[in-house]
Chain A
């Protein structure tokens, strides 16, 4: 597609509910990133995929967070048993290349999650 697409744009979940956030990266982009942004803060890294391989998940805050990219394109971030502290904007980004080679990263518009 023309840009990184995320859905849903807005999600209100009751505490304890499971949510799934979808990211459709730019076509052909190898690298895919998930970030979490709390109000008034900069984005914080959650996880990184190179094609279908999840190479870095060091930023996932707990085992309630799970991400996948089974076919190397669309990715889903799943949050189980949501808690109020999970309320944030979840940003997906993609880039054409990998590793240290200079790559511009492109962000989607984000999924705004509110847990009540």
Chain B
């Protein structure tokens, strides 16, 4: 069974204080790893898809990387508007996404 573990559960940052979120996974035959952002009271918002180890993608202050066993979401010089829950999900050789429990990031001004 696919397993996705995210750490830490919560992260409190000062504005401008860079940090990283971890997503470790166990899946037989990874086809894609997805990062989503979820704001309170809203649905998950798609951020990135990573397909193979060594791949990196960037969007504004966010950068996602992938190895054979884990993915990192790096937040560089975060701003208060980056506060959200970040969800990681893996997709094996079918259509199903297996989600982690998420990391809740709070950025203080």
Question: A and B: partners?
Answer: no
